Each structure stands twice: as C-alpha cells, then as structure tokens.
Amino acid sequence: MTAAGGYDAAALHRFAHDSIARGSKSFALASRLFDRRTRERVLLLYAWCRAADDLTDGQDHGGTMRAGHDAVAAVARIRDLTDRAFAGDPTGDPAFDALGLLLTEVAIPRAVIDDIVAGFELDAADWRPRSEADLLRYCYHVAGAVGVAMALVMGVDPADETTLDRASDLGIAFQLANIARDIAEDAAADRCYLPVDWLVELDIPPGQHMHPAFRPRLAVMAKWLAEMAGEYEASARWGARKLPPRSRWAVLAAAGIYGDIARAVRRRGDHAWDHRTATTRAAKFGWVARAGWSVLRRPPLRRIARDGLWTRPRFAGDAEAAQ
C-alpha cells in the first residue's frame, strides 16, 4: 500500500510497530488503548523519536553507546533528514519516512519538531544543567515537546495552548522520573542531569555524586525529582480530560505507569540505584484498569492549577502556518 508522497505506508507501520515493541514495553502497552487510527499515528511519531534519540547517542533502541560516536554529526544528519521529511521527500530511512508519512495526515508545526531536535543537540553537546530552570528546559526539549506533538496527533487543536501546556507537563513528568531512575546509568556514561545548584546546596562535589558517602544526599535529590514529577503528572492528568476517551485512557495509563517509577525511586531512598527501577507487569495492568475506570467516570471539574510550573514556548505563528 502506497500513501501520499510515495511512502510505503504498510512497511512504515510495520517498522513503527517493531520499534515500539523493542524500545518501550510500557508505552507499547499504553498505546494499545488508543483507537486504531490514532495508535498508528502515535507509533509513527514514536519511531522517529526513538531513531533520532538512538542516532544521537550511538545506540540501538537504547543499550550500550558505541565508542567513538560522533554525536554532533549525528544531529546534523537528523536535521537534514527531518528537513526532507517536512518537504515530503522520501529519505529511504524508515524512521524519517515514518515522520514524513505522519505529516501527510497531521499538521504538526515545524517549531514543535525543532524543539525536539534541540533536545538531541543538548545531549550531543554534553550539556549539563546549572539550575532547576535549566533542568526543566531540558526535560521540555527531550520529552515535553514530544508530549505536545503527541497531543496534536491525538487531535488537539494547535491553537489550544492550555491543553498543549498540559501535554508538555506529562512529558516533563516522564523525563524527571527517568532522570531520577537513571542517575547511576547516566554517571557510568559520564552524564549528569542533576542541576549544579542542587549539588552545591547539598555539598556534593561535581562528578562525585555516585560516591557511596553521598548516597543519602543523592536520595534527597531523587526525592525532589519525584516530587516535581508528581506535580507535572497531576497537571497533565487534569489536562487529559480534553482528549477523546480512548486517548484519555492511554494517556492516564501511561501517566500512572511512569509515575510509579518516580514513586518507587523515592520510596527506595539510598537503595534506588542498587538495581534499575522498573514497573511490574501487574502494576502496569493495574494502571490500565484504573485509567479505564477514570474514563468511564465524569472528568474532574475542580481545576488543577499550573501555578509555579515551568511553561513551554509558544508556536502561534507556526500553528497558523500548519493549518
């Protein structure tokens, strides 16, 4: 089957299904809750994000980074192939053609995709946050902007800035949970996403945060990350009420599954990095059931305010151009 623009839609959908099956068991489960059309589009976007992330890090669906990998050159390639996807020019690379196919069906403002690519550029530059605001900006670029793109794929109006803010909040919550969980793995790869200001406040020398003597203080920072993740998750949950029922079901299930990661890291304290924190299969299905029950009930009427939460940049001009 060939779609608009000369893309082999059937092959690209197969590629996207394989990508999520290999890359994220949690999101693969949540994605089954979407209606078929939305799920296929969500997986196309996921396949592009996964491949671009792997290109940046020199990985294959996560895992070990290749020695001598040129991340800067990889991001240049990402930009070039993404340009071609927006131009409707098949690239021969299935991940970027997946994005191209998606763009024949959904108007995603270029600024949103550029903000995601900016996250890859931060990683390629070995960027590290100095402040909490820096941390949140990073979380936005690597995950919050993906949440915005996903919301657009689910049918949110590009002009609905309030709902897109909440979609960004969910991505930020996910990334804060990932950072808390992966502190040890990041340190092994010579990366650190803990703000320098936090390290100074707790009197931890830069580069020494994984020393056993600092585990109790590291647990304090993990608690801060988990608490922040909870605030952004709560905001996103309230925003999900604007989504169609099947999409709301998937988003609420994913919020609970990823939220459990942050909650588990906080609960484990000093032992949070003895082994990788994961959500059990039973817990995942528990969140699927709870999310389904939430969808059947009337959406919450009491507004959850975003007071004090970091807010993404606006794309009004691009949104109008994309319509």
Per residue in 83-92, pLDDT (tens digit) is 999 999 999 9
In the chain, where the domains are located = 1-67+79-106, 124-323
Tokens representing 178 are 């990932």
Give the pLDDT confidence of 96-136 residue by residue, as tens digits: 999 999 999 999 999 999 999 999 999 999 899 999 999 99
pLDDT tens for residues 258-296? 999 999 999 999 999 988 888 888 999 999 999 999 888
pTM recorded for the entire structure: 0.91
Is the pLDDT assigned to residue 300 strictly greater than 80? no
User: 3-state DSSP: the chain helix, strand, coil percent, rounded to 5?
Assistant: 70, 0, 30
For the cut 50, the answer to whether the pLDDT of residue 317 exceeds it is no
- For 190, phi then psi, to 5°, come to 60, 40
Which residues on neighbouring strands pair with residue 2, listed in sequence order? 8
Check pLDDT > 80 for residue 144.
yes
pLDDT of residue 260: 95
CB atoms < 10 A from the CB of 269, how many?
Answer: 14
315's CB contacts (< 8 A; 6+ apart) are 109, 111, 112, 158
Determine the CATH number of domain 124-323.
1.10.600.10
Sequence-ordered list of residues with C-beta below 8 angstroms from that of 138, at least 6 positions apart, any chain: 119, 122, 127, 129, 175, 193
174: DSSP letter: H
Range from 3-12, 148-157, 279-288 that averages highest in pLDDT: 148-157
**Does the pLDDT of residue 23 top 90, yes or no?**
no
- The pLDDT of residue 153 is above 50: yes
Q: Which residue type, as a one-letter code, is found at position 317?
A: G
CA–chain centroid gap for 126, Å, is: 19
What pLDDT is recorded for position 190?
Answer: 87
Compute the distance between CA of residue 178 and CA of residue 232 in angstroms, rounded to an integer.
Answer: 14
Maximal C-alpha separation, the chain: 60
Looking up tokens 């994913």 gives: 254
Q: pLDDT tens for residues 160-218?
A: 999 999 999 999 999 999 999 999 999 988 889 999 999 999 999 988 999 999 999 99
- Check pLDDT > 60 for residue 156: yes
Please check whether residue 271 is in contact with residue 40, taking contact to mean a CB–CB distance below 8 angstroms. no
Q: What percent of the chain has pLDDT over 70?
A: 92
Burial (Cβ within 10 Å: 0-12, 13-18, ≥19) of residue 8: middle
Residue-level pLDDT at 304: 84
